[in-house]
Amino acid sequence: GAIAQIPEILLKCVSRDEAALAVAQKAFKSLYENASSSLHVSAHLAILAAIRDVCKLVVKELTSWVIYSDEERKFNTHIILGLIHKELVNLAEYNMHMAKLIDGGRNKAATEFSISLLHTLVVQESRSSVLELPNLIDALAKLAIRPGSPESLQRLIDIARNPTASATVLSGFAAGKEEKAKQSREKGSEHPTVCREDNNAESVGVDPAGFRDQVFALFAEWYQISELHGTNDTACTRFISQLQQSGYLSGDDISDHFFRLLMELSVTHCISGEGTSSRPLSLQSPQTSPNLSFLAIDMYSKLAVLILKLLSVAVKVIVRDAEEKAAAFNSRPYFRLFINWIFDLLAPDSILDGAHFQVLVAFANAFHSLQPLRVPAFSFAWLELVSHRNLMPKLLTANPPKGWPHIQRLLMDMFRFMEPYLRNAELGEPIHFLYKGILRVLLVLLHDFPEFLCHYHFSFCDVIPSSCIQMRNVILSAFPRNMRLPDPSTPNLKIDLLPEINQSPRIFSEVDAALKVKQMKSDVDEYLKTRHQGPFMSELKQKLYLAQTEATQAGTLYNVPLMNSLVLYVGMQTIQQLQTKTLPPLAQQMTHNGSLEYMMGPAKDIFQMLIVDLDTEGRYLFLNAIVNQLRYPNNHTHFFSFVLLYLFVEANQEIIQEQITRVLLERLIVNRPHPWGLLITFTELIKNPKYSFWSRSFIRCAPEIEKLFESVSRSCGGPKPLDESIL
């Protein structure tokens, strides 16, 4: 109709706002010319609403026109209610104006109009706007307590302030468990969903008689309140305050029941797709719908802004829902809930700023409880929530490094879930997308928080499969932001003269944890100190094996975390002992010493035994454990680079040299980034004549292999290899 064309006409105007305000002013004046006609009023309100959709300034101007109009217009209940219903006035401003206008009851016309308006909103119509008039209610409440005031006014104030309190319902929570169980059985056939228990998820308990209906009424009311776009924080806080006064937020028992039912109602409404209706919420079973309505979800999340205990209830509900529905589980409503909570609770100007870190930790703990291994169907939503800009960066910057273990634990949760898929190369489309998402998160951390990856590289490498080369490279490429890496291809680069090369890196992971679990740490310490030829060396290889059942599950015969722990721990202890000497710095010792005797033979014995006695799989894992330490300039990188090159030159079997080359090469042929220590080691291997790298037969076993080595050599800054067949 003609009204529908108003926005289109106004949008074509050069000065849209000026034209909109001019038309709105005429419509507002005409509104009162036939105020007794409902059709006339409705039509003009529709015109004003159409203008408001194009020009938001209209609401501000309409509010001013109402406030400064004469009493006949200002106190027209029918028109004012229409303006409120159509959201054409700013209720916050109107609320303060009317509270002042009452003037302690001295303005009789304003007082009578206010009582009539409040009565209509509370009793005769929807109560959705009542909580946005707190000043007006307070002004009338002061009149209600005066001697001689009508009792009906006090009742009206009580209803406006506390519309849903029910002593009967609240007293139900004081009843004993036996009585509640009896009530539950009696109501079992009526509300089977609420009373059902799950063996795999924590029981959510039973509800007193009538409690579900009370919560439904509360949620329907809150839904209507929040549908008004002008709802402000004052009204929200006032509503929550009423919940507290009513007792719904007092005590774990009633709060858990209250929020659990609220969540069930909002999720049901979201999935059922009934959010487009302005009628009260439907409790029909969720129907499959590609177009979800998130209005109920948004409303519920806003109500729960200040209630952190809701997170634990949310975990229970999600776990139970996922277990019950299996493949039919829909994570989108829950994702929307958490996104809203993250925005509301973790926003920079959140009212919870004083307890900001505790709030961050509460979310991290909730997500740990919802980790993909426990709720696989929630994995995509989980990853996006964990890496959200309001959570991950803030945990990494709030009280650093106090918040780091929480992000480390969450990443470990994801890596453990992905490990079997990555190990077996079972990258179906969903897992492939999830892998790409994880890689992007790691790249963000590499760019913004490299120290975090530096300090936890060891624990991450424990759970990332050896075949997952690029992901591991991203982690190992991290270096402190205040460090400038020398170019590995720089001619005559003196690694041992770099100031950082004698410094130990910080490692927050517990390096010796796996040794302690297998009760091997004391044996390793004893051997490193005494080099006593007892059973340690003869039994070491066997201790690295997994039990048959564990090997089947892990997809390898070897205990990879134990191998990683042994290699790094032996290296760290050896470095520490060497640093106590007053001789030249460790880096210069490794440069000018031709053997590993300076390393206090025990470390030499262990590494030599592992490289020779292990089979192909074990040797590959052992070499990976060494190459995992080739990172940015530090004494670990230099030490293990030297160890690897020593093992190469001292190898009495070419298969060992070939395997060392393979471990280095497979990390270089993938996309960047590449760890600095890896590039330094491979460059040294191909450049230094003492390793005779280009004379090895495995280099020329096939033309394509030879071309690959030549290409990598050029990319690493090495010279083009000579045709050594003529030498």
**Pair 86, 199 in one domain:** no
> Per-residue confidence at 610, pLDDT binned at 50, 70, 90?
very high
Rg (C-alpha) for the chain, rounded Å, is 36
**Pair 157, 201 in one domain:** no
- Which residues is 558 bridged to in the sheet? 545
> Per-residue confidence at 193, pLDDT binned at 50, 70, 90?
very low
Q: Taking all residues of the chain, what is their mean pLDDT, rounded to a whole number? A: 79
DSSP 500-523: GGGSPPP--S-TTHHHHHTT-HHH
Instruction: Please give the Cα distance from 319 to 337 (Å, whole number).
Output: 15
pLDDT digits (tens, 9 = 90+) for 546-579: 999 899 888 899 999 999 999 999 999 999 888 7
Classify residue 532 as left (phi > 0), alpha (psi -120 to 50) or beta. Answer: beta
In a domain, 384, yes or no: no
In a domain, 585, yes or no: yes
**Pair 106, 240 in one domain:** no
Instruction: Say whether pLDDT at 410 is over 60.
Output: yes
Instruction: Say whether pLDDT at 465 is over 80.
Output: yes
Give CA separation, 646 vs 652, 660, 684, 685, 712, in Å. Answer: 12, 11, 12, 10, 22
Residues 201/190, Cβ–Cβ less than 8 Å: no
Residue that is last in its domain, among 274, 296, 330:
330
Total number of domains constituting the chain: 3
DSSP 383-446: HHHHT-TTTHHHHHHSTTTTTHHHHHHHHHHHHHHHHHHHHTT---HHHHHHHHHHHHHHHHHH
In a domain, 287, yes or no: yes
Instruction: Please give the Cα distance from 407 to 367 (Å, whole number).
Output: 10
Provide the pLDDT for residue 392: 94
Instruction: Say whether pLDDT at 455 is over 70.
Output: yes
DSSP 577-613: HHHTSSSS-HHHHHHH--SSGGGTTHHHHHHHHHHHH
Residue 80's closest CA among 93, 67, 92?
67
- Which residues is 545 bridged to in the sheet? 558
Residue 457's closest CA among 678, 130, 234, 154?
678
pLDDT digits (tens, 9 = 90+) for 323-367: 998 888 999 999 998 998 888 777 665 444 545 777 788 899 999
pLDDT digits (tens, 9 = 90+) for 279-315: 343 333 334 444 565 656 665 555 544 455 678 778 8
> Per-residue confidence at 248, pLDDT binned at 50, 70, 90?
low
Provide the pLDDT for residue 283: 35
Residue that is last in its domain, among 161, 181, 200:
161
| 75-78 contact pairs (CB < 8 A, 24+) | 75/109, 75/110, 75/113, 76/32, 76/35, 77/113, 77/116, 77/117, 77/120, 78/35, 78/41
Q: Which domain holds residue 53?
A: 3-161
**Pair 316, 221 in one domain:** yes
Phi, psi of 558 (to 5 degrees): -110, 150
Q: Which residue has the higher pLDDT, 514 or 161?
A: 514
Residues 6+ apart with CB under 8 A from 69: none
Provide the pLDDT for residue 585: 58
Phi, psi of 545 (to 5 degrees): -80, 150
Give CA separation, 368 vs 4, 179, 185, 270, 411, in Å. Answer: 51, 36, 35, 25, 10
In a domain, 79, yes or no: yes
**Pair 81, 138 in one domain:** yes
| Mean pLDDT calculated for residue range 600-609 | 86
Q: Which residue has the higher pLDDT, 357 or 82?
A: 82
**Pair 155, 59 in one domain:** yes
Instruction: Say whether pLDDT at 46 is over 70.
Output: yes
| Mean pLDDT calculated for residue range 77-84 | 88
Residue 422's closest CA among 403, 436, 407, 408?
436
> Per-residue confidence at 533, pLDDT binned at 50, 70, 90?
confident
Instruction: Say whether pLDDT at 417 is over 90.
Output: yes
* DSSP tag of 283: -
Indicate the pTM of the whole model. 0.62
In a domain, 390, yes or no: no
**Pair 199, 272 in one domain:** yes
Residue that is last in its domain, among 282, 308, 330:
330
Residues 222/170, Cβ–Cβ less than 8 Å: no
Provide the pLDDT for residue 462: 94
* Alpha helix positions (H), 86-210: 91-102, 108-119, 134-144, 151-161, 167-172, 177-187, 192-195
CATH number, position 227: 1.25.40.790
Instruction: Say whether pLDDT at 673 is over 70.
Output: yes
Residues 540/606, Cβ–Cβ less than 8 Å: yes
Residue 650's closest CA among 714, 600, 605, 687?
605
Residues 24/62, Cβ–Cβ less than 8 Å: yes
Six-digit token string for 334: 């829950």
**Pair 120, 220 in one domain:** no
**Pair 198, 248 in one domain:** yes
In a domain, 374, yes or no: no
> Per-residue confidence at 276, pLDDT binned at 50, 70, 90?
very low
Provide the pLDDT for residue 206: 59
> Per-residue confidence at 415, pLDDT binned at 50, 70, 90?
very high
Provide the pLDDT for residue 590: 56
pLDDT digits (tens, 9 = 90+) for 6-42: 877 888 787 888 888 888 888 888 888 888 888 888 8
In a domain, 339, yes or no: no
**Pair 255, 326 in one domain:** yes
Instruction: Please give the Cα distance from 215 to 256 (Å, whole number).
Output: 12
**Pair 103, 216 in one domain:** no
Six-digit token string for 696: 């090895």
Provide the pLDDT for residue 106: 84
* DSSP tag of 558: B
In a domain, 103, yes or no: yes
Instruction: Say whether pLDDT at 595 is over 60.
Output: no
CATH number, position 553: 1.25.40.800
* DSSP tag of 464: S
Maximum pairwise Cα distance, the chain = 118
**Pair 104, 201 in one domain:** no
